[in-house]
């Protein structure tokens, strides 16, 4: 475990001495805040329309769900590749992989340490947009439940995307190529997830296995054990797969 | 006989169709500094990658500190310190932090870490750059940081791949001194295609070419074997006719090099050298020098590699 900790600490230091972490975090905040304004406007329009027709006005928690279930989901597709692209590709390019792979630790420990470093960045990003749901909670009277499960959902979903980005980074020596691969895979996870629901007959049945649907289940406001387990297993599976890819590269 | 630390038996390594290492066998014992020589592309780096568990052997066995690289890779990695051909450095880290990280992943206990870092800095002459960024260091210093990283956990076995490549002569001498110093209490194997390098630091050499061992043995023996046991001597007043010298006891195959200098072999027997020297000194020629012909490793190397190429 101490090896994982060592790799994790070095990863964080490395993130914060390069402009990369700052760029990724700043871009995320920018995108999220722009989307927040759009969401507010859209919410306002719906609210007025509902009020005019004397229907029940949706609560601000609808907006909270929008932030975690929509905005975060799309913003991460573009931010995650930035966070993960150098994780393993850079180690190979600058030959530091040889240091890590000849040290007495398993490839899993190495990959896990790197993954957790990226998760930390994600946590920082989510903490920094935390004012949005909290604002809605304090002044918009939003239900507290979606606020908290929303953070959990975003963290779990984001971690899953990070694991995919990590896998992409293990496939190449070039950070740029790693970012492009990650972007492609993440877009597939999101759009693919949405598209599955559109398939006639079997679509609705398959939908519950998509990351997108599990994210939505969590954002609703209750901790869905099924969704939590879903994300944890999927993420660990991809992290483990990454370790296997790195190991298999020894044979070449 | 001291315990074998590196045992390589019939190691073969294929990359696709290309056979980089074609069945080599050698042993390095505790406390030895072994030079692993060969031209570029001979299979040195590949062999070292197998020894450090970076890549598995295609066949044959490699045991490091009695642990098989395939069966107990973590035990093997615990026993070794490795400096790859390109030093594995993080340019964005400060020297000290980098070494601290290296110590941590090499399982140096927290309580001993500070001392280990200080010792490595001291040993590799890095004290004055300890707070500098690795990326801003000169090539020579980077190489030293790479070396410090390899010794930080006091490994029993040190594997150095071309430790002085690309350094200027002063830096080469400094690195050599560090290696010799470190080699006093541990097993070292260092690869090189630069011969004086190996001659200056190693007690024993293994020469490989195109994936096969072409010569092996203690440094002196190898030099002697390929030097053919020749001697040379210098006379202040050489005779006009070599015949007088050729007739002297002990000397054989006399060859005049000009300017009073001669080369000769000694006839077999224990007292050949003594009688030759006595006869030369007794004569009217003024013997001023009598010494073994020194062959450089370079000559040995060229000889064995060329033989190989012709065969």
Domains and CATH numbers, chain B: 4-219 (3.40.50.300), 229-292 (3.30.70)
pLDDT top residue among B22 and B41: B22
Is residue B310's pLDDT more than 70?
no
pLDDT the model gives residue A141: 79
pLDDT top residue among B179 and A181: A181
Percent of chain B with pLDDT over 70: 94
pLDDT the model gives residue B224: 67
Is residue B228's pLDDT more than 60?
no
- By the 10 Å C-beta count (0-12 exposed, 13-18 middle, 19+ buried), A226 is classed as exposed
Is residue A171's pLDDT more than 60?
yes
Contact B80 A102 (CB under 8 A): yes
pLDDT the model gives residue B222: 75
pLDDT the model gives residue A29: 95
pLDDT the model gives residue A142: 78
Rounded Cα gap, residues B84 and B13, in angstroms: 18
Q: Kindly list the residues from chain B whose CB atom is less than 8 angstroms away from the CB atom of residue A17.
A: 92-93
* pLDDT tens figures, B44-70: 999 999 999 999 999 999 999 999 999
Average pLDDT over residues A135-139: 83
CB neighbours of residue B174 within 10 Å: 18
Q: Which residues, 6 or more positions from B181, have their beta carbon under 8 angstroms from its beta carbon?
A: B123
Q: Kindly list the residues from chain A whose CB atom is less than 8 angstroms away from the CB atom of residue B88.
A: 94-99
Give how far A109 is from chain B: nearest CA, Å. 10
Q: Is the ipTM of this complex over 0.85?
A: yes
* pLDDT tens figures, A59-90: 788 888 888 888 998 899 999 999 999 999 99
pLDDT the model gives residue B216: 87
Predicted confidence band of residue B112 (pLDDT cuts 50, 70, 90): very high
Predicted confidence band of residue B308 (pLDDT cuts 50, 70, 90): low
Contact A97 B88 (CB under 8 A): yes
Contact B54 A7 (CB under 8 A): no
Q: Can you state the percent helix, strand and coil of chain A, rounding each to 5? A: 80, 0, 20
Average pLDDT over residues B297-310: 71
Contact B88 A94 (CB under 8 A): yes
pLDDT the model gives residue B38: 85
pLDDT the model gives residue A197: 77
pLDDT the model gives residue A193: 80
pLDDT the model gives residue A65: 86
Pick from A14, A97, A100: CB nearest B92: A14
pLDDT the model gives residue B280: 84
Q: Kindly list the residues from chain B whose CB atom is less than 8 angstroms away from the CB atom of residue A103.
A: 77, 102, 105-106
Tell me which of A227-236, B147-156, B293-302 is least confident. Answer: B293-302
Tell me which of A11-20, A26-35, B169-178, B207-216 is least confident. Answer: B169-178
Tell me which of B143-147, B162-166, B297-301 is least confident. Answer: B297-301
Contact A96 B56 (CB under 8 A): no
CB neighbours of residue B12 within 10 Å: 16
Predicted confidence band of residue B157 (pLDDT cuts 50, 70, 90): very high
Average pLDDT over residues A103-127: 95
pLDDT the model gives residue B311: 62
pLDDT the model gives residue B249: 80
Is residue B127's pLDDT more than 90?
yes
pLDDT the model gives residue B197: 74
pLDDT the model gives residue B42: 86
Q: Kindly list the residues from chain A whose CB atom is less than 8 angstroms away from the CB atom of residue B55.
A: 250-252
pLDDT the model gives residue B229: 63
- Spell out where A13-52 has E strands: none
Please give, one letter per residue, the 3-state secondary structure of chain B: CCCEEEEEEEEEEEECCEEEEEEEEEEEECCCEEEEECCCCCCHHHHHHHHCCCCCCCEEEEEECCEECCCCHHHHHHHEEEECCCCCCCCCCEHHHHHHHHHHHCCCCHHHHHHHHHHHHHHCCCHHHCCCEHHHCCHHHHHHHHHHHHHCCCCCEEEEECCCCCCCHHHHHHHHHHHHHHHCCCEEEEEECCHHHHHHHCCEEEEEECCEEEEEEEHHHHHHHHHCCEEEEEECCCCCCCHHHHCCCCEEEEEEEECCEEEEEECCCCCHHHHHHHHHHHCCCCEEEEEECCCCHHHHHHHHHHHHHHC
pLDDT top residue among B215 and B100: B100
Question: A117: number of CA atoms within 13 Å, CB side?
Answer: 28
Q: For testing the chain B interface, which of A21, A104, A108, A250 should be mutated: the one with the most B CBs within 10 Å?
A: A104
């Amino acid at each position: 475990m101490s090896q994982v900790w060592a790799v994790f600490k070095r990863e964080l230091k490395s993130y914060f001495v390069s402009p990369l972490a700052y760029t990724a975090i700043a871009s995320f905040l920018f995108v999220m805040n722009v989307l927040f304004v759009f969401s507010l406007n859209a919410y306002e329009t719906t609210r007025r329309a509902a009020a005019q027709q004397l229907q029940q006005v949706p609560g601000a928690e609808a907006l909270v769900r929008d932030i975690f279930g929509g905005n975060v989901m799309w913003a991460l597709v573009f931010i995650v590749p930035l966070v993960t692209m150098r994780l393993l590709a850079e180690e190979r390019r600058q030959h530091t992989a040889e240091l890590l792979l000849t040290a007495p630790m398993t490839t899993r420990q190495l990959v896990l340490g790197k993954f957790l470093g990226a998760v930390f960045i994600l946590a920082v990003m989510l903490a920094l947009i935390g004012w949005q749901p909290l604002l809605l909670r304090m002044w918009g009277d939003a239900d507290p439940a979606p606020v908290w499960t929303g953070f959990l959902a975003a963290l779990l979903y984001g971690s899953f995307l990070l694991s995919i980005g990590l896998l992409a980074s293990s496939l190449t020596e070039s950070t740029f190529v790693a970012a492009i691969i990650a972007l492609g895979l993440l877009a597939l996870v999101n759009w693919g997830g949405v598209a599955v629901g559109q398939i006639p007959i079997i679509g609705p049945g398959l939908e519950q296995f998509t990351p997108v649907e599990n994210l939505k289940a969590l954002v609703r406001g209750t901790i869905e054990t099924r969704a939590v387990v879903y994300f944890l297993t999927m993420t660990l599976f991809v992290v483990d797969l990454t370790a296997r890819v790195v190991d298999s590269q020894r044979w070449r | 006989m001291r315990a074998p630390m590196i045992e390589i038996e019939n190691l073969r390594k294929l990359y696709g169709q290309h056979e980089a290492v074609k069945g080599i066998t050698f042993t390095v014992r505790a406390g030895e500094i072994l030079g692993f020589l060969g031209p570029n592309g001979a299979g040195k780096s590949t062999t070292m990658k197998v020894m450090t568990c970076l890549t598995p052997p295609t066949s044959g066995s490699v045991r490091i500190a009695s642990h098989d690289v395939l069966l107990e890779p973590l035990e093997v990695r615990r026993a070794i310190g490795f400096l790859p051909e390109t030093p594995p450095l993080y340019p964005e880290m400060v020297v000290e932090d980098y070494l601290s990280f290296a110590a941590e992943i090499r399982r140096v206990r927290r309580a001993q870490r500070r001392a280990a870092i200080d010792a490595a800095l001291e040993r590799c002459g890095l004290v004055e750059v300890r707070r500098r960024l690795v990326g801003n260091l000169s090539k020579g210093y980077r190489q030293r940081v790479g070396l410090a990283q390899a010794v930080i956990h006091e490994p029993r076995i040190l594997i150095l791949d071309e430790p002085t490549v690309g350094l200027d002569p002063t830096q080469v001498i400094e690195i050599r001194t560090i290696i010799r110093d470190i080699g006093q209490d541990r097993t070292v194997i260092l690869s090189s295609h630069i011969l004086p390098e190996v001659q200056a630091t190693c007690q024993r050499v293994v020469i490989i070419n195109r994936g096969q061992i072409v010569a092996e043995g203690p440094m002196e023996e190898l030099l002697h074997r390929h030097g053919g046991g020749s001697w040379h001597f210098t006379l202040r007043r050489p005779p006009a006719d070599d015949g007088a010298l050729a007739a002297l006891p002990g000397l054989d195959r006399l060859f005049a090099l000009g300017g009073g200098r001669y080369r000769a072999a000694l006839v077999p027997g224990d007292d050949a050298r003594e009688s030759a020297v006595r006869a030369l000194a007794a004569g009217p020629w003024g013997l001023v020098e009598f010494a073994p012909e020194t062959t450089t490793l370079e000559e040995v190397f060229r000889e064995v590699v060329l033989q190989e190429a012709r065969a």
